[in-house]
């Protein structure tokens, strides 16, 4: 599906715990990667960006949280999968981007086509992680639900997808949305919902890919 949708990967994202910051910084320097000092100054010890001067690759590393339009905590979650972020966090990494682009929508379509919604992390998108975060943060809820609607809208733009592909992704988006809607919302969520979009609900994100 990646090839069919024309998805080309240009960088590598990693996540770790902040306590490993100096070890990772030293390792990548030894491997010949160049640290982007401006990014390090902007984000402190929560994010680093490295460039490979030979092959032009970028390595983006996040510590303790994914920080884009919203902040997604990672403490205690990196052990759930051996090689990647847990699937719930992979979904939220894409769905929490306010100005989402087509490649992130394609990534989400591929993710939902291959993985069912469930209540564990074992090759399953653990819905409880999504509902717990969106039920406590109205801003995150607003962004995630809006982007889930965009995923369904974009499905019709890709003739490479079979009818079965589109049906499976649609059903899984609907299942996530049902669970989000059914989850009890926190008091803070309900207060923020009264204000709605009159006040900005997200952080502005600087695009770092072309640095």
pLDDT per 10-residue tile (average), the chain, 211 residues: 60 92 94 92 87 91 94 95 94 96 94 96 95 99 98 94 97 98 98 98 70 41
Report the pLDDT value the prediction gives residue 205, as an integer from 0 to 100.
76
Decide if 171 is inside a domain.
Answer: yes
Q: Is residue 84 part of a domain?
A: yes
Q: Would 115 be classed as within a structural domain?
A: yes
Residue 147 counted as domain residue:
yes
Q: Which residue range(s) make up the domain with 85? A: 80-197
In a domain, 144, yes or no: yes
Q: pTM of this prediction?
A: 0.89
Q: What is the CA radius of gyration of the chain?
A: 18
Our count of domains for the chain comes to 1
pLDDT at res. 51: 94
pLDDT for 4 equals 59
* Residue 15 belongs to a domain: no
């Amino acid at each position: 599906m990646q090839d069919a949708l024309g998805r080309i990967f240009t960088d590598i994202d990693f996540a770790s715990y902040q306590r490993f910051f100096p070890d990772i910084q030293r390792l990548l320097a030894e491997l010949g990667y160049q640290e982007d000092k401006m990014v390090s100054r902007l984000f402190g010890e929560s994010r680093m960006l490295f460039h490979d001067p030979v092959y032009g690759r970028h390595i983006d590393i996040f510590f303790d949280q994914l920080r884009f339009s919203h902040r997604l905590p990672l403490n205690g979650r990196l052990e759930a999968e051996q090689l990647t972020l847990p699937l719930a966090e992979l979904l939220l990494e894409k769905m929490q981007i306010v100005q989402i682009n087509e490649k992130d929508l394609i990534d989400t379509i591929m993710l939902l086509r291959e993985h069912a919604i469930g209540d564990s992390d074992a090759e399953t998108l653990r819905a409880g992680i999504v509902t717990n975060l969106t039920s406590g943060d109205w801003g995150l809820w607003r962004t995630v639900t809006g982007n889930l609607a965009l995923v369904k809208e974009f499905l019709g733009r890709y003739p490479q997808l079979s009818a079965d592909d589109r049906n499976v992704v649609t059903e899984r988006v609907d299942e996530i949305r049902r669970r989000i809607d059914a989850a009890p919302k926190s008091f803070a969520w309900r207060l923020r919902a009264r204000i709605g979009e009159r006040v900005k609900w997200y952080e502005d994100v600087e695009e770092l890919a072309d640095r």
